[in-house]
Amino acid sequence: MSYANAAESDLFTEELNFRESLITLSKAFEAKGFFVKPFRERAWREFLSFPREKKKRIIRDFTRYYSIYMAVLLQPGSPNEDGKLLWAAVKNLGLRPCADFFDQVDENDIVEFYAPSNLQIFHNINFFEVCSYSFLEIFAYPFTELWTRDPDAFAALKQVAIDGFSGKFKSTVDSRLPRHYLVEAFSDERYMAEVEFRKFSPLYDEKGDIAALAAISRGRVLSQEEYRQILAELPYIPQPPPEKVVKVRFGIE
């Protein structure tokens, strides 16, 4: 077998293992009462068409995320207890949070870690209260493609990222972003959520460089009626609301 053929065979095996890991994690979530799709078939087909290096990056990022969650989900109790999921995340990702970071987070917060590429590398369980995307979609696309939001809010959020990664703030800071709405750009459910960012905090690598940015927020998914009422006032949202929006919170409709 040639080197090229062997490399392709190895990648094919990685893809199969990746698909199984997506399914395994989805089942582990379900066992704890959380429901997240492993992937959608159209997203899987698109993933298979990605360049080799992009696929390997997605698999690598998800594998670390998988390790974090599986270690915590297999323990008794809620993943949100005592910040154990966040502690597992910063340890596994090799990140050092600011001294006040954990004091700023409570059990109702949505916590997300973003890399400089705008790709999400971690989020806590509460993230899925306002997100219906599958695991694969979250890791395959940057947030700029996954959600449509107010252009002014998007510009402000982009500036926060620029400031954060350039070191303009060295510790946790209050958010100045206004409460705003965002809509999933291409999910089946098309959740429309009202989101308010509370805090932003840099995360450092072992060299002391800023490697990621943590966003702490609160959010809720709008009802069908709210969606239709607000849609008329938001020209930046191109798609109509879905026929039915089903919000699942911790396994209870």
Averaged pLDDT for residues 135-143: 93
Question: CA–CA separation, 180 vs 219, rounded Å?
Answer: 10
Question: CA–CA separation, 62 vs 239, rounded Å?
Answer: 29
- The string of pLDDT tens digits covering residues 100-126 is 999 999 888 999 999 998 888 999 999
- The string of pLDDT tens digits covering residues 10-40 is 878 999 999 999 999 999 999 988 999 999 9
Higher pLDDT, 75 or 205: 205
Question: CA–CA separation, 168 vs 120, rounded Å?
Answer: 21
Confidence (pLDDT) at 5: 53
The second-level CATH assignment, the architecture, of 3-231 is 2-Layer Sandwich (3.30)
Question: CA–CA separation, 162 vs 156, rounded Å?
Answer: 10
pTM: 0.84
- The string of pLDDT tens digits covering residues 173-211 is 999 998 888 889 888 888 889 999 999 999 999 999 999
Percent of the chain with pLDDT strictly greater than 70: 89
